[in-house]
Amino acid sequence: MAVIKVHGNRDSLATVLVLCCLNEKELQYELVQVDLGPVGAQNKPQYLALNPFGQVPTIQDGDLTLFESRAIIKYLANKYKGQGTDLLGNNLSEQALVEQWCEVEGQSFYPLASSIVYETFVMPMSGGGGIDVAAEEKLNKVLDIYEERLSKSKYLAGDFFSLADLQHLPWTHYLMDACRKDRLITSRKHVNSWWKDISSRRAWKMVEIPL
């Protein structure tokens, strides 16, 4: 099996997500570091030929070049379903629930979590930022729904770890460790148990998580 080439940067949470998925699938990969600093390698013609949007990561798997982290991990989970951890479910109903909770992460969790991270952690580095009270209030409501769901199942899509859980790892890690917003998680019994479970997985610990 050819080694999958990942063009990305370990300081990019989208790259971290893809690397974690590759670890779960027990796939061999090569990380081609893309310098996101002053050099701006992601905006150079050589990289734009792979990803015209100039963002990381982008993967090359054989003849396929693919960008957008959520699309990448879905592709990996489907193409290599029989290898490593099955992240999709075993039947149509399970797969539908995985898809549903992946959408919840992308549409309801991520926009709020990323807003809090940028305001609390990223912007202060350049003298700006503050507390995004509205985003925290909305995220609390989202996590109340998670608490209800996780009181009935071990993971979001059921009693199996899936892409839906995996997608939450990078941004929840930043919320808790970089932004010191751990109360969002620890104040909810079932959400906290879920987080302890998924963040202790070997595939996640293998990734050099940025802070």
3-state secondary structure the chain: CCCEEEEECCCCHHHHHHHHHHHHCCCCEEEEECCCCCCCHHHCHHHHCCCCCCCCCEEEECCEEEECHHHHHHHHHHHCCCCCCCCCCCCHHHHHHHHHHHHHHHHHHHHHHHHHHHHHHHHHHHCCCCCCHHHHHHHHHHHHHHHHHHCCCCECCECCCCHHHHCCHHHHHHHHHHCCCCHHHHCCHHHHHHHHHHCCCHHHHCCCCCC
Q: Enumerate the domain spans of the chain.
A: 4-80, 92-202
Supply the pLDDT for residue 129. Answer: 57
pLDDT of 38 reads 76
Q: How confident is the model at residue 2 (pLDDT cuts 50, 70, 90)?
A: confident
At 210, the pLDDT band (50, 70, 90 cuts) reads low
pLDDT tens-digit readout, 136-189: 999 999 999 999 999 999 999 999 999 999 999 999 999 998 788 899 999 999
- CATH topology assigned to domain 92-202: Glutathione S-transferase Yfyf (Class Pi); Chain A, domain 2 (1.20.1050)
Selected from 3.40.30.10, 3.40.50.2300, 3.40.640.10, 3.40.50.1780, the CATH number assigned to the domain covering 4-80 reads: 3.40.30.10
